[in-house]
Amino acid sequence: MLKSERVKFIMDHLESIYPKTPIPLNNNNNFELLVAVLLSAQCTDERVNRVTPLLFAIANNPFEMEKVDLKVIYDIIRPCGLAPKKSKAIQDLSKILVDKFDGIVPKDINELEKLPGVGHKTASVVISQGFGLPAFPVDTHIHRLAQRWGLTKGKNVKETEKDLKNLFPPEKWNKLHLQIIFYGREFCSAWSCDGTICEICTTCYPNRKNHLKLKKVSFLL
């Protein structure tokens, strides 16, 4: 199967399984989304969704959040892991949003990436899910699937993102990135599929006999 054929099959197959793609992290505004995505680093969406209601009950905007004691933030988000770093980032970025952006989350990916605790992947999620602008957030899971499906030979998420953006039309990026995540969790996880089991793997590479050994990835949040 040619790469162009794999691309079309993957898009069509994912659309047939996931015609709707609800945002995994619960939020009511872009500030809540930004904080939730920050908390999701090395943490499951389910756990973040259990923690954020407690945090947002105290402060759901940067004006309120910058006034919350750091220990209070820390104690609430501790189940999400990396609490010292994440709690300080939440407090610091809240102050910056108030001082520099009048409390509004910027609609500019470059400005988002300058905020404490916000890397390219986190900024891309906010741009995509918060503002509806074309972005293709790539984490280690999407990187793994893109390698399995022969869509990239990228050594890191930055290279993989570039390859995926070149293969898929911009109007598909926002939905497709979620569809890939959902499919990976349900059918093609690191444990449930070795490149020879799920329908996408077997359709794209019907003659693949051996377990696919993936390259290590360097990952920035």
Which residues form the catalytic set?
A: 121, 139
Tell me the three-class secondary structure of the chain, residue by residue: CCHHHHHHHHHHHHHHHCCCCCCCCCCCCHHHHHHHHHHCCCCCHHHHHHHHHHHHHHCCCHHHHCCCCHHHHHHHHHHHCCHHHHHHHHHHHHHHHHHHHCCCCCCCHHHHHCCCCCCHHHHHHHHHHHHCCCCCCCCHHHHHHHHHCCCCCCCEHHHHHHHHHHHCCHHHHHHHHHHHHHHHHHCCCCCCCCCCCCHHHHHHCCCCCCCCCCCCCECCC
Is residue 133 within 8 Å of 106, Cβ to Cβ? Answer: no
Cβ atoms of residues 55 and 155 within 8 Å: no
Q: How far is CA 216 from the centre of its chain?
A: 18
